[in-house]
Amino acid sequence: MVMLVISELRFAVYKCLWAILLLLICFCCQGKAMPLTSSFSPIKIRIYCSQNPIPAESLWLSHINSDKQEGKILSKFIKEWETIRVPETVSREDWQPNGVLMKAAEDGIRCLPTILLVDKKNRVFARIEGGANQENLEAKLALLHYFIINPRPVSCINRIKTGSSQSQSKLICSYLSHVPVERWYVDYPRTMRRLEKLESQDKAFILAKEARLRLAKVKQTAQLIQQAFDAHKPDEILHCIDLWRKKIDDPCTSLEDKQRFLLAFIHPLWIRLEAYHYNGGHEPASEEAFSQAIKTLEEARDLDTSSPLGKRADYLREELRKARLSAAKYD
């Protein structure tokens, strides 16, 4: 009798185990995400926020990185937190290779706060933008949990092996839809090569290619800003002006950027050159530099006289002319 009971119990246990196994297989076959496992964790959270956060920003951040219930749940899956505070006043250091603004440009930050989810290979796999209020807080927390417990883009993309080139590229781009386009070529180079071979015409992929070119130009501009700060001798100043001129002549440079470059960089460089040659009174070299400074302001103004930058250029031109006429009395 005892042996019969033990046999029945053993059969019941085996039956339960097989039922669980079958449920897991069905769960996978239906394409649903498996629960979080060690293969999907730990992850890293990178947060871009303001130095002086507004209430919606503070509420959102206080729930995901705190001792509250939501924060405790997330802490089980998150290996590292990185908080980057974007300054209100821009400094030279912010545009250096590891500066705050350069990092923000590389990560495609468009608003504050922005949360980036990073996998163990340092690839960004999801982004959540904006703060939260009491009405949408639970929805945003649910979205964050969804990104954490679901498979990463690469694991989904690697399963795409059949279908037309168009259908494959469309599906690949859909899996990358939560990744900032600025990170596509940086974090997923093999996938980008695959999309290129598929001759993808997906809008998101085209935006990723444009973002790569735009980021290269941002880095070039950042280097020129550093050179503009460091240029003090006449040959250095003139070389720097020539580089800014080439950037302005680039057909891809917008009109607003042309005004900004003329006003913020080329004009101050001419003023610096004038100060270098000035020796108790204007000499031909300082006079020429001053004349070029005036012409630069006029050029910036004439690109768009009604824009704030155009009006600013016109104001500076008038102030500079007044200062020159006043100084002429003592020359």
Local mean pLDDT, 10-residue blocks, the chain (331 residues) = 43 45 42 40 86 88 67 71 87 86 93 93 94 89 88 92 93 96 96 95 95 90 88 93 92 89 92 86 84 93 92 90 68 52
Burial 122-141 (b: 16+ CB within 10 A, else e): ebbbbbbeebbeeeebeebb
For the whole prediction, is pTM greater than 0.75? no
Crossing angle of helices 234-249 and 267-277, rounded to 10°? 160
Q: What does the pLDDT read at residue 67?
A: 55
Burial 258-277 (b: 16+ CB within 10 A, else e): bbbbbbebbbebbbbbbeeb
Q: What does the pLDDT read at residue 38?
A: 37
Q: What does the pLDDT read at residue 7?
A: 46
Separation in Å, CA 240 to CA 99, 219, 220: 22, 16, 13
